[in-house]
Amino acid sequence: MEQWIQLTIDGITLGGVYACIALGYTLVYGVLRMINFAHGELFMMGAFAGVYTLQGFQDHTSLNEDLPSLTITAAIFMGIVVAVVLAVLMERIAYRPLRHAPRLAPLISAIGVSIFLRNVMLRYTNARREVYPDVFPDGSIEIGDVSVSYIKLFLIGMSILFMVGLYLFIQRTKTGTAIRAVAEDRDTAALMGIDVDRTIVLTFVAGAALAGATGVCYGMYVGNAAAGMGFIPGIKAFTAAVLGGIGSVPGAMLGGYFLGLSEAYTTKLFGAQYKDVVAFVLLVAVLIFRPWGFLGKREDRRA
What's the min distance (Å) between Cβ of 159 and other proteins?
17
Counting Cβ atoms within 10 Å, is residue 134 exposed (0-12), middle (13-18) or buried (19+)?
A: middle
100 binding other proteins? (CB under 8 A): no
Query: CB-wise, 14 or 189, nearer to other proteins?
Result: 189
The backbone region for 102, taken as left when phi is positive above 0, alpha when psi lies in -120 to 50, beta otherwise, is beta
DSSP 188-253: HHHHTT--HHHHHHHHHHHHHHHHHHHHHHHHHHHTEE-TTTTHHHHHHHHHHHHHH-TT-HHHHH
What's the min distance (Å) between Cβ of 291 and other proteins?
19
Query: CB-wise, 178 or 225, nearer to other proteins?
Result: 178
Query: CB-wise, 204 or 238, nearer to other proteins?
Result: 204
Q: Which residues, numbered 238-297, are part of the site for other proteins (CB under 8 A)?
A: 297
Query: CB-wise, 34 or 181, nearer to other proteins?
Result: 181
What's the min distance (Å) between Cβ of 156 and other proteins?
20
Q: How does 250-289 read in b/e, with b if 16+ C-beta sit within 10 Å? A: ebbbbbbbbbbbbbbbbbeeeeeeebeebbeebbeebeee
What's the min distance (Å) between Cβ of 168 and other proteins?
5
Q: How many CA atoms lie within 13 A of 108 on its CB side?
A: 6
What's the min distance (Å) between Cβ of 170 and other proteins?
10
Q: Which residues, numbered 157-216, are part of the site for other proteins (CB under 8 A)?
A: 165, 168-169, 172-175, 177-178, 180-181, 184-185, 187-196
Q: Which residues bind other proteins (CB under 8 A)?
A: 165, 168-169, 172-175, 177-178, 180-181, 184-185, 187-196, 297
